[in-house]
Amino acid sequence: MRTDYCGSINTRYLDKTITLYGWVHRRRDHGGVIFIDLRDREGIVQIVCDPDNAQAFAIAEKIRNEFVLEITGTVRHRPEGTVNPGIFTGEIEVLVSTIAILNASATPPFQMDDDNLSEAIRLEYRYLDLRRPAMQHNMRLRHKVGMAVRTFLDQQGFIDIETPILTKSTPEGARDYLVPSRVNSGHFFALPQSPQLFKQLLMVSGFDRYYQITRCFRDEDLRADRQPEFTQIDIETSFLAENEIMGLMENMICHLFATTIDVALPASFPRLSHIEAMSRYGSDKPDLRIPLEFTELTDLMREVPFQVFRDAAQKPDGRVAALCIPGGGELSRKEIDEYTQFVAIYGAKGLAYIKINELAKGLEGLQSPILKFLPDTVVQEILSRARAQDGDLIFFGADKAKVVNDALGALRVKIGHDRGLVEDTWKPLWVVDFPMFEWDEEENRWQALHHPFTSPREGHEDLLTTDPGQALSRAYDMVLNGVEIGGGSVRIHRQDVQAKVFQALNITDDEAKEKFGFLLDALQYGAPPHGGIAFGLDRIVAMMTGTDSIRDVIAFPKTQRAQCLLTHAPSNVEEKQLRELHIRLRKTEIANS
């Protein structure tokens, strides 16, 4: 019977007999003495097989990497000069008395300490990839984060309640994953994009404080921080306003970081309105570690001869903004051209610039292909607003406000990283006062910026019917180092207000009844004021580990094409199964499968 884990053995165990189980990380034959690095989830310990123990030595000669072993032996000091200070067990070794091979292993496709593996190989052999120390660390940290969340919320009176996985399709956000019903021919369940409606119903039910660490599903285009199935820390509470909810969640995130990775976040997070975040950073999730901000120039450019700037400034939805890069004057033309190509990804048609060589020389101290199109007074005002210094460079964005914000916002982050301007710290904040709606040009109608159950700000209810584009919401996003880790809002708890929101979204009464009738009915029966938030567990753990991809903190993730390389899912199914589900595939779909 195991007495201890491999990675837990140190000098406290000297002269003790212990029994260990684990995998062979590496075997080394040093001219008569065989050394085995035995690994389990806690770490590695060095095992010594001496030829004086003939039976154990004979077994050790047969051992190869990733064999599963049972070892019994005595803990002793490592010989002088062989101590390994880089690991917890580095001062000791275990002299084998008995050894048993519990299972052999085929030669693995990679070494467990190889850090240069392709992701495809890692995902195909995920069960081996998860043996690697880095992945073991990630999974253990994920466990600790979940436990810290549960501990905190339990102490605050929250109740863990499960909500359905098979539910009704309400396609107002991303695409649903649909599940055909065998017993209800032609009907479908949907996998939940979030437990949003059910957690609101739980507030109507009087549970007051609910939470759940739950799986959610969205059939959407994937990126490094997206998966078709992901894990959400879902929270809802009654009778608290947004400031109280935000304060409680600040405490939870601070507790989380302090107890899992020993990081002290600020006791109170700064707050930025959505309009201020977009104005200063071009993003509703700004990375405050980067000390670069936009300079607003729209008002200055409405009458300039330079048509690109003038036209953008005169558009109702246009913007002209600048980004001043300290020391950016040293950028080569090649580097500037590369940044121009970069912003083109976001729809920018170009990237004008001014290099400030020597301010004391006036215009003669500046270098730019656009100076001849700008009045001297305008140039001086640009320099003044941007607080430019000798050696700086100013980039410009001029287009629709969305294009300018997206392009310069992404450029701000890229340059911040390229030029080493990112502070080595944690910078959380809240972004608040979001618009209720955003205009969808393709569908020619308003869309909910968050979701259609978000409450408007006090005094903005009338705008829902008179001027929806000006209505602000009681929504709030928590942002950490440029990543949105959580988003929530105070919900609509009155049926008349919910009806106005549906009207603004061009959802008819019949559509609302069909999609959300059960919620609308529930709001009639004494729904309390309530609000909540959902945090992306995968994103939080990924940030804590420093990985760029949430796939590194999910045990069995999908690829960017929503495929599982381990199980080869999704896959074809038998015709019998399709018939039972009342499904017939089109021939073109079969040919492409």
In the chain, where does the domain assigned CATH 3.30.1360.30 lie?
A: 290-422
Binding residues for ATP: 218-220, 227, 484, 536-539
Binding residues: 172, 218-220, 227, 450, 484, 491, 536-539
Residue 396's pLDDT band, with cuts at 50, 70 and 90, is: very high
Nearest-angstrom CA–CA distance, 45 and 6: 5
Is residue 171 over pLDDT 70?
no
| Residue 315 DSSP code | S
Give the three-class secondary structure for 117: coil
Q: What mean pLDDT is predicted for residues 237-263?
A: 97
pLDDT (tens digit per residue) in 528-564: 999 999 999 999 999 999 998 999 999 999 998 899 9
Residue 482's pLDDT band, with cuts at 50, 70 and 90, is: very high
Nearest-angstrom CA–CA distance, 255 and 480: 15
CB 190 within 8 Å of CB 176:
yes
Rounded to 5 degrees, what are φ and ψ at 512? -65, -40
**Which helix H or strand E contains 28, and what residues bound it?**
strand 17-30
DSSP secondary structure, 153-204, as one string: HHHTT-EE----SSB----SSSBPEEEE-SSSTT-EEEE-S-SHHHHHHHHH
DSSP secondary structure, 65-95, as one string: TT-EEEEEEEEEEPPTT---TTSTTTTEEEE
Q: Classify domain 290-422 by CATH architecture.
A: 2-Layer Sandwich (3.30)
**Residues present in the chain in total:** 593
Q: pTM, whole model, 2 decimals?
A: 0.92
Whole-angstrom CA distances from 390 to 215, 327, 361, 373 are 53, 8, 11, 22
Is residue 8 over pLDDT 90?
yes
| Residue 529 DSSP code | P
Four-CA torsion 274, 278, 284, 290, nearest 10 degrees: -130
Sign of CA dihedral 526, 527, 530, 536: positive
Is residue 587 over pLDDT 80?
no
**What is the number of alpha carbons within 13 Å of residue 313 lying toward its C-beta?**
19
In the chain, where does the domain assigned CATH 2.40.50.140 lie?
A: 6-103
DSSP secondary structure, 396-409, as one string: EEEEEHHHHHHHHH
pLDDT (tens digit per residue) in 205-219: 999 999 999 999 999
Whole-angstrom CA distances from 518 to 170, 174, 188, 495, 499 are 12, 21, 17, 12, 14
ω into 570 cis (within 30 of 0): yes
ω into 428 cis (within 30 of 0): no
| Start-to-end C-alpha separation, the chain | 50
| Residue 534 DSSP code | E
CATH number for region 6-103: 2.40.50.140
Rounded to 5 degrees, what are φ and ψ at 136? -60, -40
Nearest-angstrom CA–CA distance, 309 and 6: 66
Binding residues for L-aspartate: 172, 218, 450, 491
Structure token digits, residue 348 = 């920018």
